[in-house]
Structure 1
Amino acid sequence: MPLNASTQALLARLERSRPVLVTGATGYVAGQLIRRLLEEGLTVHAAVRDPGNSERLAALMALYERLPGELRVFASDLLKQGSYAQAMAGCGVVFHTASPFVVSVLDPERDLVRPAVEGTRNVLEEANRQTSVERVVLTSSCAAIYSDNADAQDTPRGCFD
C-alpha cells in the first residue's frame, strides 16, 4: 500500500530520536504504516488491546525481525481514558488508526460511531497531555464508508464519498 504524499513528507521531517505511536497496531492500515516506519529505522510504539496475543502480533513481529527499526508493544484500550499514556510517552507523532469495527451491527450509532468518536477523543486528550507530541495523524480506511452493494445502489452516482 503506497503512502500518500503528505504522509511521505511527514516521514521525511520526523524527529528520528523520538518514537512514533501507532494505535490499532494490528490492523491492516496500521501494519502497512508500521512496516514503512520500521523501514525508515524509527522506533514504533505499537498500541494493541492484548500484547499477550502472539497470534495477532505475529505479522508485526515478523516485520520487526527483518527491518531496521525498533518495535515496542503497549497495551491500550481505545475506550479507556488514559490508557494510551504509557505508549504515547516521549512520542513526537501519533498515528491514530484504531477504531472499533464489528461486522454484525444492530445499531450503527451505538456500535460504531459512538465508540469511534469516544476512542478518538481519548487519544486526542492524551496527546494534549503529552508535551512531546507535536502532531496527530488521524487515518481511516474504506471501511469507514463502505457497506454492502444494496447501500451503494441508493447513493448518488452509485458510489460513496
Structure 2
Amino acid sequence: MTATTIDPAAPVLVTGASGYIGSWIVRRLLEAGRTVHGTVRNPQKASGLEHLHKLSDDHPGQLKLFKADLLDTGSFDEAMAGCELVMHTASPFLLQGVDDPQEALVRPALEGTRNVLDSVNRTPSVKRVVLTSSVVAIYGDANESRDVPGGVFTEDRWNTSSSVDHQPYSY
C-alpha cells in the first residue's frame, strides 16, 4: 500500500467547521499554514461563528466559509472544489429536546455523509477523505463495558445498546 501525497498548497475542506471537533481541526490546519474551506449552515449568522471569524482574522486569507447543509444534495460541491483532503465532521449534535430523533439526528447524519461522499465522487481533486466519529460508535451504555474483554475497547467493538429511541445521538 502506498501513501497518497496531499499537496500542502491545496485547500482542505472541513465540514461542520463551527462544531467542537471541526473548530479544533480548522485551528490546527490554519496554525500549520494550510488554507481551509469550512462549511457551516449559515456563514452570515450573527452569532455562533465568532471563534471562526477570530481564526480568520488571525490567519488572513487562509479560511473561507461556505454555506452547506447535510440534507442539500450538492451543497458541498463549491466548498470542495480544488481540495485534495476532505475532513467530514458535520453531524447534528443534540442530546435533549429532540421530538423526532430519526429526523433530527439519524437521517441528517446518514444522508449528510452520503451527500459529502457524493460530492467527493464528483470532485476530481479529492485524494483522501477522513470521516470523524466519536467514542459512542463503540460504546453506548455503561452496561456494554462489562462485556469488553479486559475492559479495553478496540476497533472490533461496536455500539449495540443505542437505538433511535435510546441514546439516538449515539445511534
TM norm. shorter chain > 0.5: yes
Q: Distance in 2 between matches of 1:112 and 1:146?
A: 18
Query: After superposition, what is the alpha-carbon deviation per residue over 1:120-146, rounded to whole angstroms, capped at 9, x for unaligned?
Result: 000000001000001110002346567
Question: Residue 132 of structure 1 aligns with which residue?
Answer: 125
The number of aligned residues is: 147
Match of 1:141 in 2: 134
Distance change >3 Å, CA 105–CA 64, structure 1 → 2: same
**Distance in 2 (alpha carbons) for counterparts of 1:58 and 1:158:** 43
Cα shift readout 1:94-120 (whole Å, capped 9, x = no counterpart): 000001222223454443222211100
2:41: which partner in 1? 49
Q: Distance in 2 between matches of 1:53 and 1:93?
A: 26
Q: Secondary structure at the match of 1:137?
A: strand
Q: Please tell me whether residue 33 in structure 1 is matched to residue 43 in structure 2.
A: no
- Identity of aligned pairs, percent? 54
Structure 1 gaps of 5+ residues are 1-8
TM-score normalised to the size of structure 1?
0.79
**Residues 139 and 145, structure 2, Cα contact 8 Å, conserved in 1:** no
Secondary structure of 2:98's counterpart equals coil
**Aligned positions of 1:1-161 closer than 5 A:** 14-67=6-59, 70-103=62-95, 104-142=97-135, 151-152=141-142, 154-157=143-146
Q: Which runs of 5+ in 2 are unaligned?
A: 158-171
Report the residue type matching 2:27 in the other structure.
Answer: R
Counterpart of 1:90 in structure 2: which amino acid? Answer: G
Take 2:90 and 2:28, find their aligned partners in 1: how far apart are those partners?
17
How far apart are residue 77 of structure 1 and its match? 0.7
Tell me, in whole angstroms, the C-alpha distance in 2 between the residues paired with 1:67 and 1:101.
28
- TM, length-normalised to structure 2: 0.75
Structure exhibiting the larger radius of gyration computed from Cα positions: 2
1:63 offset after TM fit, Å? 1.8
Query: Residues 73-101 of structure 1: CA distance to partner in whole angstroms, max 9, x if unpaired?
Result: 10001111000111001101000000122
Distance 1:44 1:17 in 2: 10
Give a deviation string over 1:47-70, Cα, whole Å, max 9, x none.
000000142211012122224770
